[in-house]
Amino acid sequence: MDKQSQSQTLNRALLALEKMEARLKAAENSQREPIAIIGLGCRFPGGATDAESFWRLLRDGVDAVTEIPAERWDVNAYYDADSEAPGKMYTRMGAFLDQVDQFDPQFFGIMPKEAHAMDPQQRLLLETTWEALENAGIAPDTLAGSRTGVFVGILGTDYADLQTVNDGINEIGPYYGSGVAHSIASGRISYLLGLQGPSLSIDTACSSSLVAIHQACLSLRSRETQLALAGGVNLILAPNPNITLSKNKMMAADGHCKTFDASADGYVRGEGCGMIILKRLSDALADGDPILAIIRGTAVNQDGASSGLTAPNGPSQEAVIREALANAGIKPQEVTYVETHGTGTSLGDPIEVQALASTLGAGRDPSQPLLIGSVKTNVGHLETAAGMAGLVKLIMALRHKAIPPHLHLKQPNPFIPWAQLPVSVPTKLTPWPQDAPLVVGLSSFGFSGTNAHLIITAPPASELKQVKAQIDRPSHILTFSAKSESALQELSQQIGNYLTKQSNGSLADIAYTTNTGRAKFAHRLSLWADSAEEAAAKLKAFSAGEEISGLVSGHISHNKRLKAAFLFTGQGAQYLSMGRQLYDTQPVFRAELDRCAALLRPYLPQPLLDVIFAQEGSEQDGLLDQTVYTQTALFAIEYSLARLWQAWGVEPFAVMGHSVGEYIAACIAGVFSLEDGLKLIAERGRLMQSLPEGGKMSAIFADEARVKEAIKPFRDRVSIAAINGPTNIVISGEGKLVDEICRSLEAEKVKTRSLQVSHAFHSPLVDPILDEFERAASTITYHQPQLRLISNLTGQPAMGDTVTNAAYWRKHTRESVQFAPAVESLIRLNIDILIEIGPSPTLLGMTQRIPGADQKLSVPTLRQGRDDWHQIFES
């Protein structure tokens, strides 16, 4: 091999090596990709039904421990201060959830009999999952078929035990197995939402929920899933676990967790449930999701052989924290606060604090010690849900930049060398230390020996997607739904109260969430408002049963997809500054109108937008009523309005237009491109503008036969221009003759009305331009309609090559508009909604006089003299 060949081979090898290194680095980075928490739902003791109420409980230093409720069991029957007393427990206390027996099975499509057999832990998981998805702005019904994973920590079997004890073996029914099986706790979530990612129920005792989150993060990083739901649940329904814990002397005699205190003698049990929604940070940013916090690193390990099966192991705790730090790429001194496992035991507390000091104390500024605390002093030990209580506490602490007080620390545990360790326990509400990183740790250690630790940070400003509207629109529409009228009223009250507290919040953000981030149920409500305060007032009025304008409610009794038709307005509906408010505040409409204006620039003497939005007294004032501008302006406005409706998800089943309106209908149907459509309408307007004045158009309110008879002597100079209804016929032609015909009919008690137009359209007076217009139309590229297009010429759906040739558009310019027959064609297509696309409704009024069409829902888009948004919202 010569030197040149050797050099080429070496270069190829080096290039291959570089590619391999790049792939390896990318793979390593993917394994460390941060995970965003984008939504959460929770239930905790003390009446905390969401993150904010839980934060208030923590902030105010509330101990939510109470005596065991009578509905759980008779505490007197099982209590004995003697820990050795058979079948007894030496505690009367616990931290409990309210109304765990309450559940709406029909909301989730579950039969009451099956719901009765379901462990309430499964019910709580369903409720908090739904709330977490809504908190993330994800409509739960949009996830069906997705690679979404479910990871749930669960351990308790109380409900299964109660059913066999209370009801007896003979009462076990078909739903018992699925009702109490832990695998179903996660599987039922996947089943009800149609999720097709992994679905795992995890039991590592007290570390279960953090291990579930760890597994969810691994699944996301490996791209096994696109979205993950993770959390844990714990309920205390039977006395058995309390009895065995008492025999092991793990419970605090006074019923309080005194973590890090000299009097620490065990923990008190607590209930709770929490679910979070997880997504890769890069995806969350790209999707514009709300980011509550970021999981930078996770780790899980096992004690292995140690001093005892259930005994805490310091070296293993140190190892799991170091691994989590390494996975997060975080230095030990960057961690400001750690939410500890902190069960309040004389053995466990010193071991855990020493492990934290060993792993996170090095290199720390003595003036900024590691802050530690335990939520168990507030709500007890939630066991399989303990990690969720700690996580929600951390999310809220990062949001509020404050650390809530750690309770029951009166005399520090003497077995912890506090003076030698760089740690401190905040016992009052503490502002986040100045300049301290917004980095926290979270530990959970299972009595099975499985340990878990998470490193979590606040979302840095650089990673938050900042989107600011150029000009916010003045009003927004909000939609709500529920499965019953009473639920809708209750929801309205709740949202009304929320909006009252958020009166300075972004109404646009609130509207986006209500409109896109919620499932749609049969009982519905929509309202438009200019502010959160106004929306709150309307919702409260509705919940109180009051009538109020700008709010509509109703019941959808079927799942039928309604058919809509777009009706495009013809000439005469234009007015100065039509659509101006939309142009200023609606990006889709603005972009489409700008595009039309740019494409029309070569064909018009003045820029189109200068003409549409002309100031009074300006050079462009009055140009809009010149046909050369009128027709192009109507095309541009109506095309942009149609695209706006489509952007909102309203797709037409059929389209039709009146005269010039058919050009936009044909364009939307795909007969010709926007470029060709604008070129054609500009030429049409130019040629019509070149016609001499003297023409006139008038509406005759009589049937077609009578009008034909009236114009018969003048049919070479006057013709029927439009059949707008059974007794609404428009004639067009020489002005003097049109006036003469009208006077003759008025003498016979027939009503007539002169139309304000610049030329006599659809009459013999346009004959001089037809040849030239047809030549222009022959330069256009035509396609078969992709939508049902109703022809003005025939009043029937366009078939074959009916509309795909220049001859058609020549005839369209000259012959009468068959509007009424066209509407009748829509009726035969079983159209439900007629949407008029135009600057002011003129066609809908005519449809009301056509039998069958008057029963359809009529929706105008804009109306002259009316606020653009108010009109759209009312529609």
Nearest to 81 by CA among 90, 69, 73, 68: 90
For 71-122, write each residue's pLDDT tens digit: 999 999 999 999 999 999 999 999 999 999 999 999 999 999 999 999 999 9
Tell me the pLDDT tens digit for each residue of 643-654: 999 999 999 999
Tokens 């400003």, residue located: 461
> Would the pLDDT of 464 be above 50?
no
Among the listed residues 99, 90, 46, the one whose alpha carbon sits nearest the alpha carbon of residue 72 = 99
Catalytic one among 42, 206, 217, 273?
206
Q: Is 206 a catalytic residue?
A: yes
Nearest CA-CA partner of 443 in 207, 203, 201: 207
The predicted-structure confidence for 234-272, as pLDDT tens digits, reads as follows 999 999 999 999 999 999 999 999 999 999 999 999 999
Q: Mean pLDDT across the stretch 27-35?
A: 74
Nearest alpha carbon to residue 573 among 304, 351, 844: 844
- Weakest-pLDDT range from 104-113, 165-174, 287-296, 326-335: 165-174
Highest mean pLDDT among 236-240, 366-370, 689-693: 236-240
What integer is the mean pLDDT of 290-311?
88
Is 812 annotated in the active site? no
- E strands present in 322-398: 337-339, 370-373
Residue 463's pLDDT is what? 45
Extract the tokens encoding 576: 């100065």
Query: Given 3-state DSSP classes, what are the helix, strand and coil percentages for the chain, each rounded to the nearest 5?
Result: 45, 20, 40
Mean pLDDT of 790-802: 94
Listed residue (273, 54, 45) closest to 152, CA to CA: 273
Q: Are 648 and 641 in contact (CB under 8 A)?
A: no
Question: Rounded to an integer, what distance in angstroms lies between the CA atom of residue 266 and that of residue 256?
Answer: 8
What is the C-alpha separation between 848 and 404, in angstroms, rounded? Answer: 65
Q: What is the pLDDT of residue 306?
A: 73
Position with higher pLDDT, 441 vs 873: 441
- What phi, psi does 844 have (nearest 5°)? -65, -35
Copy the structure tokens of residue 82: 């003697």
**Lowest mean per-residue pLDDT among 143-147, 178-182, 468-472, 531-535:** 468-472
Which is the catalytic residue, given 182, 214, 256, 381?
Answer: 381
pLDDT tens for 560-581 read 788 999 999 999 899 999 999 9
Mean pLDDT of all residues in the chain?
Answer: 92
Res. 612: pLDDT tops 80: yes
The per-residue pLDDT for 467 is 42
d(CA 264, CA 259): 6
178 contacts: CB under 8 Å, gap ≥ 6: 114, 117, 118, 184, 188
Average pLDDT of span 769-792? 97
Q: End-to-end CA distance of the chain, in Å?
A: 80
DSSP 50: S
Backbone φ and ψ for 79, nearest 5 degrees, come out as -90, 140
Q: How far is CA 698 from CA 39, 154, 720, 757, in A?
A: 62, 78, 10, 10
Give the residue, 162 or 670, on which the prediction is more confident: 670
pLDDT of residue 29: 58
Residue 360: HSE in the Cβ half-sphere, 13 Å Cα cutoff: 32
**Residue position matching structure tokens 């529920």:** 482
Ordered domains of the chain (ranges, CATH):
37-459 (3.40.47.10), 476-555 (3.30.70.3290), 564-692+773-868 (3.40.366.10), 694-757 (3.30.70.250)
Structure tokens at 333: 């001194």
Task: Please report the DSSP string for 449-482 in residue order.
Answer: SEEEEEEEE---GGGS-----SS--S-EEEEEEE
pLDDT in the model for residue 813: 95
Q: Which residue, 165, 60, 40, 45, is CA-closest to 95?
A: 45
Give the burial string for 155-185 (b: 16+ CB within 10 Å, else e): bbbbbbbbbeeeeeeeeeeebbebbbebebb
Lowest mean pLDDT among 49-63, 169-183, 440-454: 169-183
**Residue 178 in this model has a pLDDT that exceeds 80:** yes
Q: What is the pLDDT of residue 25?
A: 60
742 noted as active-site residue: no
Which member of 341, 406, 408, 812 is catalytic? Answer: 341
212-227 pLDDT, tens digit per residue, is 999 999 999 999 999 9
Q: Is residue 128 classed as helix, strand or coil in its secondary structure?
A: helix
Q: How far apart are CA 520 and CA 508, in angstroms?
A: 19
**Distance in angstroms (rounded) separating the CA atoms of residues 469 and 383:** 46
Tens digits of residue pLDDT in 380-418 = 999 999 999 999 999 999 999 999 999 999 999 999 999
Nearest in space to 829 (alpha carbons), one of 614, 580, 655: 655
pLDDT tens, residue by residue, 821-847? 999 999 999 999 999 999 999 999 999
Tokens 């951390």 belong to: 394
Element containing residue 753 per DSSP (H, E): strand 752-755
**Rounded average pLDDT over 33-37:** 97
Alpha helices in 194-347 (DSSP H): 208-221, 240-247, 281-287, 314-328
C-alpha to C-alpha distance for 143 and 197, rounded to whole angstroms? 11
- Using pLDDT thresholds of 50, 70 and 90, give the confidence band for residue 340: very high
Looking at per-residue confidence, does 531 or 152 come out higher?
152
Return the top range by mean pLDDT from 2-16, 402-416, 516-530, 856-870.
402-416
Determine the Cα–Cα distance for residues 253 and 83; give it in Å rounded to an integer: 9
- 700-753 tens-digit pLDDT: 999 999 999 999 999 899 999 999 999 999 999 999 999 999 999 999 999 999
Mean pLDDT of 852-856: 89
pLDDT at residue 416, rounded to an integer: 96
pLDDT at residue number 28 = 57
The confidence score (pLDDT) of residue 618 equals 84
As a whole number, mean pLDDT of residues 131-158 equals 96
Structure tokens at 729: 């016929």
- The pLDDT score that the predictor gives to residue 694 is 85
What is the Cα–Cα distance from 211 to 449, expressed in whole angstroms? 12
pTM across the whole model: 0.79
Residue 585 has pLDDT above 50, yes or no: yes
What percent of the chain has pLDDT above 70?
A: 96
Q: What is the DSSP letter of 817?
A: B
Torsion of CA 504, 508, 512, 513, to 10 degrees: 0
Tokens 């035509």 sit on residue: 782
* Mean pLDDT, residues 535-560 taken together: 85
Please name which of 538, 112, 419, 65 lies closest in space to residue 271, comparing C-alpha atoms. 65
